[in-house]
């Protein structure tokens, strides 16, 4: 504490004027040293001459340093620029001094005043040396004091290749944090045991808790470019259990101007551990299909809808109309986009189930493309409220789709879910019925609107998804709740999901269902454990995981294809088209209309029974509606 106060006091009062004063004092001392050197370290010279020569030198030094500004540099950040300024200042001092001495000698202005030319030269050399060294001494003092006061983070860099070396350099350059690189870690036997800048390369297989404890390691930074997902998953699972913070170096494409900075090295997120490569879409056709168009997005304030809106706002659209019935989230999205300077955007609080209201919106804005993301998606809540699920997921979709045809919309894109495949709950069944209605419209030749469906799995970080739930449970001290130890889900990030939606808006001739090759499904139980470790806690010592049992309508494994469905490839290797089952469009369309009419009676059992007639593969799980399957 005392050292900290001393350092603060020094920083406060060591202003440029103090630096100037110290420089002048050192110049005077150097002048005395110059005489001493000239006379072989003896005092065999007229000392009385120093009484008027030293004030003269001090005055000339003051003028020189004020002119050059060599005292203005921040001592603790001394560099070559400061050293050069010192050189210029002392050179000016010596030139003025020698000029005055020569003028005085020639014109005998002050006969008694003279400084030997040798003294001036020696003083010049000594002054440069003393002033530059003094600055680096003070800099070292600040670094030592700062090091003693700041917390040192001991780091291991996993990866002794080029990326590891760049990471090492970035940590050394960081001025805000103090990192001590204890060693490099690599699995390459040719590198193990060697040293980089006197820092040893260790065998990755030898890194255990004893090693971490003995070396006092705080962080391990994974610095391997183009690391395979399964390798990253293996390393992270292993390293997190050692009780250290695990960070990762971002891809080269995300470095600032091609240079890596320490603040870009972030803690690993759950998105990094999906055990698959991120799906990247870069289609210039999206730009062509969006620019100068009027675009309408329903459910614009939701997790998917808001990201679709963000991505669309980056294009040169003619008008972007964002609709949602949730006013607060829509207001938040409005403020976000306005602050970012996005233009030509209209925000409307409206309900997609309100036919009159939506008709007026279509009439006023005349959208050319519609992205329909409005839906209820919470499985347990919809299991107890079939009326609401049918009203928004089916009737709402039907309303917007019918209006799209009536108003000659070019393209209608519906956001669906993998829960619509072989549904076991009301929510999934209603989304499947909505898909079927869109398919019915696609089979009609009475309009020019192209209909497209996008179907994908769970979205990381979306409202109601498992990740935010786990985060809240960790903040509250646990336990984390998982319905079944073997339950698995497909996952993707919100930007990936919304890129698919935009991509689907440009592909095909209408009637297609686009799905992702989402890799392997992930165990929710394993995600829960990783999130505990990523939070710096231990499982089960700090936070445990509680198995609560499957919820109504929930199944262990989600699917992306229904029974009898097959896929066809597209030009993107990760995007496929689900080959739809043949349906009787007229019969199904009439049944869906009857369902929407019957829904007004608020008879949940009747509603679910009609859903099961329209979707024969709908078999309830852990639900009160299982009895209807037996009746069927």
Residue range 401-428, pLDDT digits in tens: 999 999 999 999 999 988 888 898 999 9
With 50 as the cut, is the pLDDT of residue 437 above it? yes
Model confidence pLDDT, tens digit, residues 583-598 = 788 899 999 999 999 9
Q: Count of alpha carbons within 13 Å of 388, Cβ hemisphere only?
A: 13
With 80 as the cut, is the pLDDT of residue 112 above it? no
Instruction: Give SS3 for 474.
Output: helix
- If pLDDT is split at 50, 70 and 90, which confidence band does 460 have? low
Range name among 279-283, 400-404, 620-624 with the lowest pLDDT average: 279-283
Look at residue 256 in the predicted model and tell me its pLDDT: 58
Range name among 60-74, 85-99, 572-586 with the lowest pLDDT average: 572-586
End-to-end CA distance of the chain: 78
Look at residue 390 in the predicted model and tell me its pLDDT: 95
At 158, list the tokens: 């996993």
Look at residue 65 in the predicted model and tell me its pLDDT: 83
Look at residue 379 in the predicted model and tell me its pLDDT: 87
- If pLDDT is split at 50, 70 and 90, which confidence band does 468 have? confident
Mean pLDDT, all residues of the chain:
81
How much of the chain exceeds pLDDT 90, in percent? Answer: 23
Taking alpha carbons only, the member of 32, 83, 93, 91 closest to residue 63 is: 93
For 133-160, what is the mean pLDDT?
74
- If pLDDT is split at 50, 70 and 90, which confidence band does 273 have? low
Look at residue 7 in the predicted model and tell me its pLDDT: 46
- If pLDDT is split at 50, 70 and 90, which confidence band does 563 have? low
Structural class in CATH, domain 152-268: alpha beta
Taking alpha carbons only, the member of 82, 26, 74 closest to residue 54 is: 26
Going from the C-alpha of 542 to that of each of 161, 471, 483, the distances in angstroms are 36, 14, 20
For 256-265, what is the mean pLDDT?
67
Going from the C-alpha of 136 to that of each of 12, 13, 140, the distances in angstroms are 19, 19, 6
Question: How many whole angstroms from its chain centre is CA 470?
Answer: 19
Look at residue 333 in the predicted model and tell me its pLDDT: 93
Look at residue 518 in the predicted model and tell me its pLDDT: 64
Tell me, yes or no, if 419 is annotated catalytic.
yes
Q: For residue 369, what are the β-bridge partners?
A: 295, 411
User: Mind giving me the DSSP string for 411-426?
Assistant: EEEEEEEGGGSS--SH
Model confidence pLDDT, tens digit, residues 518-539 = 666 778 888 888 788 777 777 8
Q: How far apart are CA 313 and CA 63, in angstroms?
A: 60
With 90 as the cut, is the pLDDT of residue 20 above it? no
With 60 as the cut, is the pLDDT of residue 251 above it? yes
- If pLDDT is split at 50, 70 and 90, which confidence band does 279 have? low
More confident residue, 176 or 517: 176
Q: Is domain 284-626 in CATH 3.40.50.720, yes or no?
A: yes
Q: How far apart are CA 501 and CA 435, in angstroms?
A: 15
For 111-128, what is the mean pLDDT?
81
Taking alpha carbons only, the member of 223, 215, 235, 212 closest to residue 170 is: 223
Q: How far apart are CA 578 and CA 468, in angstroms?
A: 31
Catalytic hit among 191, 293, 391, 419: 419
Instruction: Give SS3 for 574.
Output: coil
Range name among 50-54, 435-439, 558-562 with the lowest pLDDT average: 558-562
Across 119-136, b (16+ Cβ under 10 Å) vs e yields bbebbbebbbebbbebbe
Dihedral angle at the C-alpha atoms of 403, 404, 405, 407, nearest 10 degrees? 80
For 202-213, what is the mean pLDDT?
87
Of 95-109, 169-183, 235-249, 334-348, highest mean pLDDT: 334-348
Strands of 430-562 (E only): list them: 450-456, 458-460, 480-482, 488-489, 491-493, 512-516, 522-523, 545-547
Of 49-58, 233-242, 290-299, highest mean pLDDT: 290-299
For 451-457, what is the mean pLDDT?
83
- If pLDDT is split at 50, 70 and 90, which confidence band does 465 have? low
Domain(s) labelled CATH 3.40.50.720 in the chain stretch across 152-268, 284-626
Look at residue 5 in the predicted model and tell me its pLDDT: 45
CA angle (163 as vertex; 157, 166 as ends), nearest 5 = 85
Q: How far apart are CA 318 and CA 308, in angstroms?
A: 16
Look at residue 343 in the predicted model and tell me its pLDDT: 86
Whether the CB-CB separation of 372 and 298 falls below 8 Å is answered with: yes
Range name among 44-48, 204-208, 214-218, 264-268 with the lowest pLDDT average: 44-48
How much of the chain exceeds pLDDT 70, in percent? Answer: 81
More confident residue, 574 or 585: 585
Look at residue 127 in the predicted model and tell me its pLDDT: 86
Model confidence pLDDT, tens digit, residues 92-105 = 888 988 888 888 77
Look at residue 331 in the predicted model and tell me its pLDDT: 94
More confident residue, 203 or 149: 203
Of 75-84, 262-271, 342-351, 496-505, highest mean pLDDT: 342-351
Sheet holding 566-569, edge to edge: 345-349, 319-324, 294-298, 369-372, 411-417, 450-456, 512-516, 575-579, 566-569
| HEC string for 344-372 | CEEEEECCCCCHHHHHHHHHHHCCCEEEE
Look at residue 348 in the predicted model and tell me its pLDDT: 95
More confident residue, 575 or 35: 35
User: Mind giving me the DSSP string for 433-457?
Assistant: HHHHHHHHHHT-SS---EEEEEEE-
Of 19-28, 118-127, 603-612, highest mean pLDDT: 603-612
Compute φ and ψ for 34, nearest 5 degrees.
-60, -45
- If pLDDT is split at 50, 70 and 90, which confidence band does 631 have? low
Range name among 62-71, 268-277, 395-404 with the lowest pLDDT average: 268-277
At 335, list the tokens: 């403020």
Q: Is 36 left (phi over 0), alpha (psi -120 to 50) or beta?
A: alpha
Model confidence pLDDT, tens digit, residues 370-405 = 999 999 988 889 999 999 999 999 999 999 999 999
Q: How far apart are CA 610 and CA 601, in angstroms?
A: 13
For 197-213, what is the mean pLDDT?
87
With 50 as the cut, is the pLDDT of residue 4 above it? no
CB-based burial label for 158 (10 Å; 0-12, 13-18, 19+):
buried
Across 190-227, b (16+ Cβ under 10 Å) vs e yields ebbeeebeeeebbebeebeeebbeeeebbbbbbbbeeb
Q: How far apart are CA 471 and CA 481, in angstroms?
A: 11
- If pLDDT is split at 50, 70 and 90, which confidence band does 12 have? very low
Taking alpha carbons only, the member of 208, 166, 168, 201 closest to residue 187 is: 201
- If pLDDT is split at 50, 70 and 90, which confidence band does 13 have? very low
Of 7-21, 158-172, 456-470, 507-521, highest mean pLDDT: 158-172
């Amino acid at each position: 504490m005392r050292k900290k106060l001393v350092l603060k006091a020094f920083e406060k009062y060591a202003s440029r004027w103090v630096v100037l004063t110290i420089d002048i004092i050192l110049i005077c001392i150097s002048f005395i040293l110059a005489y001493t050197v000239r006379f072989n370290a003896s005092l065999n010279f007229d000392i009385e001459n120093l009484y008027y020569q030293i004030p003269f030198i001090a005055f000339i030094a003051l003028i020189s340093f004020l002119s050059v500004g060599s005292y203005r540099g921040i001592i603790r950040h001394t560099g070559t620029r400061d050293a050069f300024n010192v050189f210029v200042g002392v050179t000016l001092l010596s030139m003025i001094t020698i000029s005055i001495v020569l003028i005085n000698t020639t014109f005998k202005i002050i006969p008694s005043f003279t400084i030997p030319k040798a003294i001036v030269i020696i003083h010049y050399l000594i002054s440069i040396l003393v002033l530059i060294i003094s600055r680096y001494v003070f800099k070292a003092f600040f670094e030592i004091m700062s090091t003693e006061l700041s917390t040192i983070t001991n780091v291991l860099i996993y990866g002794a290749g080029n990326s590891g070396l760049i990471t090492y350099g970035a940590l050394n350059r960081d001025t805000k944090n103090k990192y001590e690189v204890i060693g490099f870690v690599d699995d390459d036997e040719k590198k193990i045991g060697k040293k980089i800048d006197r820092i040893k390369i260790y065998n990755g297989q030898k890194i255990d808790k004893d090693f971490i404890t003995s070396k006092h390691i705080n962080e391990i930074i994974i610095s391997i470019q183009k690391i395979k997902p399964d390798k990253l998953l293996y390393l992270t699972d292993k390293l997190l259990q050692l009780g250290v913070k695990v960070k990762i170096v971002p891809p080269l494409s995300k470095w600032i101007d091609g240079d890596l900075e320490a603040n870009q090295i972030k803690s690993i997120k759950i998105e990094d551990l999906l055990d698959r490569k991120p799906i990247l879409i870069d289609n210039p056709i999206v730009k062509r299909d969006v620019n100068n168009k009027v675009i309408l997005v329903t459910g614009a304030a939701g997790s998917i809808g808001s990201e679709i809106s963000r991505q669309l706002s980056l294009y040169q659209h003619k008008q972007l109309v964002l609709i949602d019935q949730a006013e607060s989230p829509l207001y938040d999205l409005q403020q976000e986009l306005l602050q970012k300077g996005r233009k030509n955007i209209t925000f409307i609080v409206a309900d997609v189930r309100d036919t009159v209201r939506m008709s007026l919106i279509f009439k006023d804005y005349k959208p050319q493309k519609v992205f329909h993301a409005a839906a209820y998606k919470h499985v347990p809540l919809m299991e107890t409220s079939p009326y609401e699920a049918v009203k928004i997921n089916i009737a709402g979709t039907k309303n917007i789709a019918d209006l799209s045809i009536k108003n000659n919309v070019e393209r209608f894109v519906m956001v669906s879910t993998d829960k619509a495949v072989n549904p076991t709950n009301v929510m999934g069944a209603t989304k499947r019925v909505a898909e079927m209605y869109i398919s019915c419209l696609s089979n009609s030749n009475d309009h020019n609107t192209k209909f497209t469906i996008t179907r994908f799995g769970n979205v990381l970080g979306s409202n109601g998804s498992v990740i935010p739930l786990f985060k809240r449970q960790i903040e509250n001290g646990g336990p984390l709740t998982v319905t079944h130890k073997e339950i698995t889900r497909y996952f993707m990030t919100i930007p990936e999901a919304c890129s698919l939606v935009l991509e689907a808006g440009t592909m095909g001739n209408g009637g297609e269902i686009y799905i992702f090759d989402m890799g392997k499904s992930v165990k929710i139980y394993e995600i829960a454990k990783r999130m505990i470790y990523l939070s710096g806690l231990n499982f089960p010592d700090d936070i445990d995981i509680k198995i609560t049992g499957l919820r109504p309508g929930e199944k262990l494994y989600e699917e992306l294809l229904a029974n009898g469905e097959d896929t066809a490839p597209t030009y993107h290797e990760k995007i496929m088209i689900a080959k739809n089952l043949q349906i009787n469009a007229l019969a199904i369309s009439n049944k869906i209309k009857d369902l929407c009419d019957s829904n007004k009676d608020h008879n949940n059992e009747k509603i679910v029974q009609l859903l099961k007639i329209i979707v024969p593969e709908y078999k309830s799980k852990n639900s009160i509606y299982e009895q209807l399957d037996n009746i069927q």
